[in-house]
Chain A
């Protein structure tokens, strides 16, 4: 007997393996074209619907899409009692997860085009109308066009669709490796400076709670770095490094008083449970929101 999931996967979610490469390309192109025509045809139909009808369509599509993912998760995977040769690690919806995710990525890519169009349109207008600080818009547009040109050219060259010239290679390297990557690193390193000024301003002993927070932060900051260990063990008269396995009770007590041990205790015994509690709350909140969206009970932006 043909396994159930294999049968469905082959006949519904994938083109049959028996087809030749050309046939597969042909069928795939027809499917893409068909989907395109279907979507284009649906747009005018949806526009003729009254608002209530449109809402009904949205509610139905949202519910069905959510139902697909929920059913894939909740349906049992092991069907071997009925189909002994079946794959016990997936149900018949599992093979459709990948195509569904691909659809989501395609929607994301379309939105990226929309976003980029909006950005370019805004800055072109800034330049054409010479709005305030339009010079920045020129910089953005020049950077955008240059990076896009070299990036696309380089990708085509890598795929051997166009000839790879030293000019493209060098140009892309200057823009990507020596500009973008370095700018990324510079922006990230700004955080170190900002945390310094923010900490200087914020850590003040204005109340009992603020004082506890400040002293705990200082203990952890110094306790987690080698200098904290060095200072602690020197002051406690201990050799550097962790307590030896055969250390006596007094040495163990002294080690427990060291900053690294205290910092680790704060991180694992105080920080972790608090965080777990917050994460439970966030997880439950997210799940509740997802249920409201799925059942179209959420009126915010839908």
Chain B
């Protein structure tokens, strides 16, 4: 058998070596004390400006549908957004579409709100999870208290001061969808027209949302962990977004280097084969 050239060996590199390199790269840049200034992308700036327009006491619905798998992207987003909402003094309620997202968002909100002195029931509440988002939105538009009935702690909705006088989703000013799933089209389709929709997707889902941004159906978007870093920068806080975005940045660089190396090896191998012929 003809011995393999170095270029052939490069082209058929053991994928486990690639995985090891990526792993080391992620860990190293996650802990490295490098902090780069992010360039604020237009969708993040729009998101920030929309929340800035809110007045104290306005009501916001947070649809939190992420669980442990996408924690690295959705947690920094939600933490940054909650910080901004509390800074503006607005009221907010949570809703999820499955049990794990309910538990994670409830625990996170409890931690972040208690640190800021925000009171459960008076300034925020969690509705638990609904199995079918479309039905829940339609129901909340018609009659919110009878659709939700009770909050995550078992308190009837009517007894929560934060929802005093709230009859429908029309009484809200904004929806913020923090999600790795395709839930934002459901909010766009079924929620009241006056309700402004903001979106916090994972990076992979963001590509799909630019059409809605263009049409104004979504008013702003925070894209994954790197969007969270931009938002933290706008708020002037230090959160999880910056180290996560750091690891992502340098992983992209590693991937690009290897794509270039692969192409270089392919060209050299072709040249070698032509010379052999």
Residues of A within 8 A of B (CB): 89-90, 94, 97-98, 101, 105, 181-182, 184-185, 187-188, 192-193, 195-197, 199-201, 203-205, 214, 218, 221-222, 224-230, 233, 240-242, 258, 260, 264, 267-268, 271-272, 275-276, 279
Contact = CB atoms under 8 A, between A and B. Distances in A.
Given A181-B68, A181-B100, A226 B263 contact: no
Nearest to A94: B142
Given A225-B248, A226-B245, A240-B37, A196 B100 contact: no
6 contacts: A200-B258, A227-B253, A230-B37, A267-B207, A268-B210, A271-B207
A98 B135 contact: yes
Contacts of B141: 89
A188 B226 contact: no
Q: Which 3 residue pairs of A and B lie closest in terms of their CB atoms, listed nearest first?
A: A229-B39, A188-B69, A227-B249
A196 B22 contact: yes
Interface string B120-133: 00000000000110
Interface string B191-215: 0000000000000000110110110
Nearest to B100: A181
Interface stretch (B11-19, B55-63, B111-119): B11-19
Contacts, number: 134
Interface residues of B, number: 54
Contacts of B214: 268, 272
Contacts of A218: 256, 259
Contacts of B89: none
B30 interface: no
A272 B18 contact: no
A260 B259 contact: no
Given A184-B68, A185-B68, A226-B36, A105 B131 contact: yes
Given A89-B141, A193-B22, A222 B256 contact: yes
Interface in B122-174: 131-132, 134-135, 138-139, 141-142
